[in-house]
């Protein structure tokens, strides 16, 4: 079942609780299509997204050392995967 990213984004922008806002944004960012949706936001919405992510990253320092290490390694894993996908995509496009 496809996610309705516009509806999920509505949850991000209208939710008053910080935890719910972060969870709604995480629901969008969890997959490739959601990340593409976020990349297409207008500048005002993108600024809101960046502000939420900035608040989360500042709070990472409040996590226990084990939790902070888990978050950091997950972030590195996601960067590696994105880099790997970027290297594969031009080759796929050339094939067609």
Query: What are the residue ranges spanned by the domains of the chain?
Result: 1-62, 64-96
CA neighbor of 28 nearest in space, from 14, 48, 11, 50: 11
- The 10 Å CB-count burial string (b at 16+, else e) for 50-74 is eebeeeeeeeeeeeeeeeeeeeeee
pLDDT in tens, 44-67: 999 999 999 888 887 765 555 555
What pTM did the predictor assign? 0.59
Among 14-28, 33-47, 68-82, which is the least confidently predicted range? 68-82
């Amino acid at each position: 079942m496809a996610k309705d990213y516009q509806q999920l984004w509505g949850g991000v922008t209208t939710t008053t609780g910080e935890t719910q806002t972060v969870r709604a944004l995480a629901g969008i960012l969890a997959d490739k299509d959601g990340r593409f949706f976020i990349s297409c936001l207008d500048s005002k919405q993108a600024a809101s997204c960046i502000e939420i992510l900035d608040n989360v990253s500042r709070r990472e320092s409040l996590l226990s050392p084990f939790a902070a290490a888990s978050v950091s390694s997950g972030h590195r894993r996601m960067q590696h995967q994105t880099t790997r996908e970027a290297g594969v995509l031009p080759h796929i496009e050339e094939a067609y």
